[in-house]
Structure formats: C-alpha cells, structure tokens
Structure 1
C-alpha cells in the first residue's frame, strides 16, 4: 500500500505522519525506520525520507547508531523513571501556583472529559485513544501558569512523554476510568487551594504509571 501525505512541506508532512504512527503504536519499540522503507511506503525520494528520519532523530523519537538504520527507541527502565521524574518536577511546580489561586484551568477540565469519552474507544480495543487527551490534561496544567520558559522546558519532554504514555496505554497498564478519576481529584484539590494534596495525587498518579511501565519493560526482557 502506498501512503499519501499532504504536500505542505513534504519532509514536515512525512515527519508528522511518522509521529502519529509512533504515538498510535503503529510503529512499536524497536521497529526499523529506513530510508528505503519510507520511500516505498510514501512514494517519496530517499533524500526526503532521510531528512524526515533526521528530524525525528533530533527530537529523540528515533535513534540511530553509527552506520546503522534508524529505529524506534526501546525505552529503558532508567529512561522511563527519568522522564517521569522530570515531569513530576515541572508539573508539581505548576500545581502549586494554580492551587495558590484556587484555579482550575478550563482546558484541563475539558481534556479530562475527553479522557472519559475515550473509554468507549478503549472498550472497543483502541486503548491508545486516551493518550492524546491525557497528555493534553497535563500540558494544560503547565500552560495555565503562563510561563513561556516553563512551557518550553515541558515541550522538550512532550514527545518522550507521549512515547511513554503510548506504551502504558498500548500495554493496557492503567484503566481509563482510573486515570480520569485521578485527574478529577487533582482538579478538586486545585479548586480547594490544597497544593500539597494536589502534588501528592500527581505523584501517586505518575508514579503508578511509571512503575507499571518499568515492570512491563523488565518482564519483556
């Protein structure tokens, strides 16, 4: 099957579609992503395929050793723990600021409603459907404090976070109802102005996902 992509910028469009496939689980950990395969799948030149691969490699979504083809990274337990630890630092800071103002971002509440709605898709076998609204929930909390620099730091993590979340949901390690309930608890603590309770809930929420993914990686070795 030849895939077609919009010709906005062929390299960018190809990179965008590869990101979508990575986050949807269509390209699982360890999958090779070669110039020849992309050129055939998308009917583009090898130079276009190479540029798209280099773009995603720079973002950390693909990895390539010396004289080797690119592959989807296989996250180690140490990678997962460091990514989640960094998330916790940034998101906890945002929660404390929001709680001080008793502020519940409307965008976070809306994202959590989409997490709940994803339950139907997940029940039908599409567990990956919760990844994007789940990510939007957490990103909304960071964005709500209005710091461009903190947002930039968080965005630098976003793609790796999505890879983790895609693996968590792709492995059905957490139920969507539980995710949505814990999100709601965080929002309720913000509204009450209880920063430490919100952070404790976030720590438990992220820690559970982190450790279940770490255990799944350990078991698959």
Structure 2
C-alpha cells in the first residue's frame, strides 16, 4: 500500500511537470515522448514513465496513433475555432448572468492587474493570469457543472494561448484594456455590451491563431 501511494505521487509530479513544459513551449507541438526518455529524465522506473504518458494521452496533451510513440498534440485551425467558439458560448452566458447581478469577481480584477504588471516589465508570459481572468468569471457564478464544463477546455485553451504568446501576436496592453472594459460593462449591468466585448476579444485571438497556424483568418 505504501509503495502504491509513493508511485502515484511520482506519477502525479511527472505528469504535472510535463504538462507545464507543453504549455510553456519547452515541449513543442509534435515532440515525441518515449518511456525511456521520461524514465531517464526523471530517474524513475519505466512503469512510472508509462503511467504518466498514458495519463497525458487520456487528457489529450499527448496523442498516440497506431501504437506509435506518443507526441505532443498539434492543434490545427479547425481545432482552434472549435475551442474558441465553445469558450464564447459558455463565457457569454456567464457574463450576461454576472451583469444581471452586477457582480465583478475580485479574482478577475487581480489577474488583469498581473497581466498589466507583466506588460510593464516587457513580458509576454501572460498565459496563466489571462486564463485566471476568464476562469474567475466562470467560477463566480457558483455553478459546479458550468465550471467543470469550462475547466475541461482549460488545457486546450492554454495550448492555444501559448502558441499565440510564442509569436507575440497579441499585445498584453490590448488584452488588459479589453478585460477592463468587460469588467466595467458587468459593473454597469450591460449584459449585451459585455457579451459583445467578449465576442470581439476572443474572436480576434481566435483568428490571429488560425492565421498563425496556416489557416485563413475570418
């Protein structure tokens, strides 16, 4: 039993570290990841490496076709559009509800301030606070199922944002301004305005990413 707990802890740690490397671009899309490489890198048994790879494959962080080597998932233009359109559907309804209550989440304000601070320091590494801005909005409606549905997209959204971030295609200054406007419209109780601002905000990111991945921006 003790051995089982330790192995599970090791697998959790390896899985989280590899997931973070994918988001940060240290493991680019299409990169192969073998059991031998993982076991050597982390100095763990092949069984632990295999378990981490299987978990990441189940989460769609890695893909394995025809029993070949697992590779970091590569998102194409159609994937991006589907992911971002799903975000818009979920977030728009949440913003309408928040505007009806005039409820502005403190966590979203804090996250936007972090993005502004990073921008002042000349950094484009804003994936985490940007994601926290949006999850703060979702979680503030206190619906476990809505949060679960949104969080199930979270990793794919981070992948999309990370790919844009690496190309410096989106200005943090614009992101901060649009986030601030969304919060302002919620505070004013303008449900339609907040939803429209969100649509513009996410649609621009979506089409920039589509273009950067070889698709035709809309």
Q: Same fold (TM over 0.5)?
A: yes
1:136 matched to 2:136: no
| Residue 72 (structure 2) aligns with | 72
| Residue 84 (structure 1) aligns with | 84
1:64 positional shift? 0.8
Q: Distance in 2 between matches of 1:143 and 1:35?
A: 37
Does the aligned pair in 1 maintain the 2:7–2:48 contact within 8 Å? no
| Residue 185 (structure 2) aligns with | 189
Unaligned runs of 5+ in 1: 1-5
Aligned length: 210
Determine helix, strand or coil for the equivalent of 1:9.
helix
Unaligned runs of 5+ in 2: 1-5
1:26 matched to 2:20: no
Determine helix, strand or coil for the equivalent of 2:126.
helix
Determine helix, strand or coil for the equivalent of 1:27.
coil
Q: TM-score, normalised by structure 1?
A: 0.91
1:148 matched to 2:180: no
| Residue 166 (structure 1) aligns with | 162
| Residue 57 (structure 1) aligns with | 57
Q: Are the structure 2 counterparts of residues 151 and 215 from structure 1 closer, same or farther at C-alpha, using a change threshold of 3 Å?
A: same
1:160 positional shift? 0.7
1:176 matched to 2:172: yes
1:39 positional shift? 1.1
| Residue 97 (structure 2) aligns with | 97
1:8 positional shift? 7.4
Q: Distance in 1 between matches of 2:15 and 2:8?
A: 12
The superposition leaves residues 31-66 of structure 1 with CA deviations (integer Å, 9 ceiling, x where unpaired) of 111111111111111111110011111111111112
Determine helix, strand or coil for the equivalent of 1:218.
coil
Q: Distance in 1 between matches of 2:56 and 2:114?
A: 28
Q: Distance in 1 between matches of 2:154 and 2:115?
A: 18
Q: Distance in 1 between matches of 2:86 and 2:8?
A: 34
The two structures, once aligned, show a CA RMSD in angstroms of 1.5
Q: Distance in 2 between matches of 1:119 and 1:164?
A: 20
Which aligned runs of 4 or more in structure 1 are off by greater than 4 angstroms?
none
Q: Distance in 1 between matches of 2:179 and 2:37?
A: 40
1:23 positional shift? 1.1
Q: TM-score, normalised by structure 2?
A: 0.93
